[in-house]
Chain A
């Protein structure tokens, strides 16, 4: 049994990360506490650097990655946003370091509770962005993300997200990989043109405005290639470790569902139980759980949810003033379903904000709204605030 934070640290240790940069902020801090012990005890041969803030944390791993080391950092909440300047240079410079996030609400005022807005606010910076729903998946995603991010078809930094407290601090059963399994799955980091004395290079000179568009297009091109790399890595992971994940969208009792919850992260565990209960009561409910926000699995979601009559997006992030005036996920889900001839009705539920629990009863309420939408064949509201 171990917490999500411990699982992340074990993942980093299995990956034999070489440069680690820490800064304390709850709740992700526990990852760094674990790693600090491993380095101090000699279990992990790594440089452990105490960054002077999250901005420095990312800058340190950028430099380390540029110089050819596998680098690891992490953060939570306002720490994630304090580092904002460095996300784009890391992605544009193709530095495949990893950042482990235990989600936390942004200020004001201080709130330790989990909420996805921190990491979601980086979604346009060109990183790989994935969410786990259990300590086991945190460990597994740590290895899978390095493998995908360091693939020469990709070469991008990765964010491995888990909900603060719900996953980061609640122990669950975790099976760690054997050294031989990790070795087979995750080859050493092979930088393409690292800073070197024997083969001098210039990293990041300015470009002309007319070189900007091709640069952006090449980054976009990479994201077209990533899904295949994710599929390969997920399949390889299943073969080597025996744990099978749907590469992009976990589909739970979805095949014949009339209504479905669209969700990511920790609250999906409650959602699964709620689906079972609703099924017992005769409601044909199902769940789709998102594993990657970037790249967004447009077609996979259309396939998974296209036949459902009504989808309720369970949002755990805010997008004030956005098109649906609620969270972030509904915008992209609606866009993904738009071109279907017979598309589902879609609404959203603001839940799990500020660290609140989404209770089984909340799912009953959501199912009620969705069933009513199916019956009336219309979406009444874009967004419902649970409990409000």
Chain B
């Protein structure tokens, strides 16, 4: 196909808190829980993206608790997708704007097309559509806001729910004392490992607002598909005091449960790496979902985290800009 200038947006990095755009695109007036991590994430993402944006919202908390009773908090255009198909709906929207631009029907900036999917809508039931979109080189930012469960249906386990967490599908009991027995999927590596069109993947948390917003802006400034994995603590699902939502995310980074990094053109760059990691128990203790665990379970979690930390500390040699499949 002949080269065509689609007028993709270039978004400048935000230098300081004071320089954050004042305009809100994810407006107050939604029934997310008090202290909702995913809602804060939505607000920061939308602020960073700005008004020339279209959101695709697959079913999940950020659909059910936001887009209620025919009123929504989105100041920009937004469309509901099924929990299964956000990547595919986004692909269709992107294609429609491309052909409209080629035919001269759409002028002005190419929209920032952003999928805001939960962990289930990203790497469980939504995995196929997400992967298809990433593979096909659509200019879409796919965000996995990870609250580590199917939360709006009443906190059921998802593939990102940590080992040992109690959910309504993994209740601890006499036979299964630790509740959840499986370890979570590695979300960013799923994307990095198998999608040669993807040139930018990053992780961050709602406790690092500037980092989050700048990763959004960087992702949106790439000409192809990009992916962000964002940790969004959930007071109701993780059972902690709702005022501690950002603190939970900070603790996750400080204990090594979570790492903030960028993967750009094949090169990893870690940020917020603690000088000395706190024991993982410090993260688990304030959370009711781990309250039933015995010391041996916490030790098992610590061993899992220790392995993860090794990967962070080990410099990852990347010579070529083409992603290489990594074995777990």
Contact = CB atoms under 8 A, between A and B. Distances in A.
Contacts of A51: 88, 132
B79 interface: yes
Interface stretch (B90-98, B157-165, B172-180, B238-246): B90-98
B82 A59 contact: yes
Given A52-B128, A205-B71, A60 B52 contact: no
A293 interface: no
B186 interface: no
A205 B128 contact: no
A43 interface: no
Interface stretch (A65-73, A235-243, A379-387): A65-73
A63 B96 contact: yes
Contact of B74 (A56, A57, A65, A202): A202
B285 interface: no
B76 A200 contact: yes
B100 interface: yes
Interface stretch (A116-124, A179-187, A206-214, A253-261): A206-214
Interface stretch (B62-70, B213-221, B222-230, B306-314): B62-70
Shortest beta-carbon contacts, A-B, top 9: A63-B92, A59-B88, A67-B96, A52-B132, A204-B80, A205-B67, A69-B96, A59-B85, A47-B95
Contacts of B97: 67
A311 interface: no
Given A51-B132, A56-B129, A200-B77, A63 B90 contact: yes
Interface of B: 51-54, 56, 63-64, 67-72, 74-82, 84-85, 87-100, 102-103, 105, 108-109, 111, 128-129, 131-132, 135-136
Contacts of B76: 197, 200
A205 B72 contact: yes
Given A50-B136, A197-B109, A207-B69, A69 B80 contact: no
B92 A204 contact: no
Given A56-B128, A65-B96, 16 more contacts: A52-B88, A55-B85, A56-B129, A59-B91, A60-B88, A62-B89, A66-B96, A86-B82, A86-B85, A195-B54, A198-B108, A200-B75, A201-B78, A204-B67, A204-B80, A205-B70
Looking at A46, A67, A86, A208, the one whose CB has the most chain B CB atoms below 10 A away is A67
A203 interface: yes
A63 B89 contact: yes
Interface residues of A, number: 43
A112 to B, nearest CB: 25
Contacts of B102: 45
A19 interface: yes
B79 A63 contact: yes
B67 A60 contact: no
A236 B78 CA distance: 37
Given A205-B71, A206-B68, A207-B70, A63 B80 contact: no
A18 interface: yes
Contact of A49 (B71, B81, B84, B91): B91
Given A50-B136, A205-B69, A71 B64 contact: no
A64 B78 contact: no
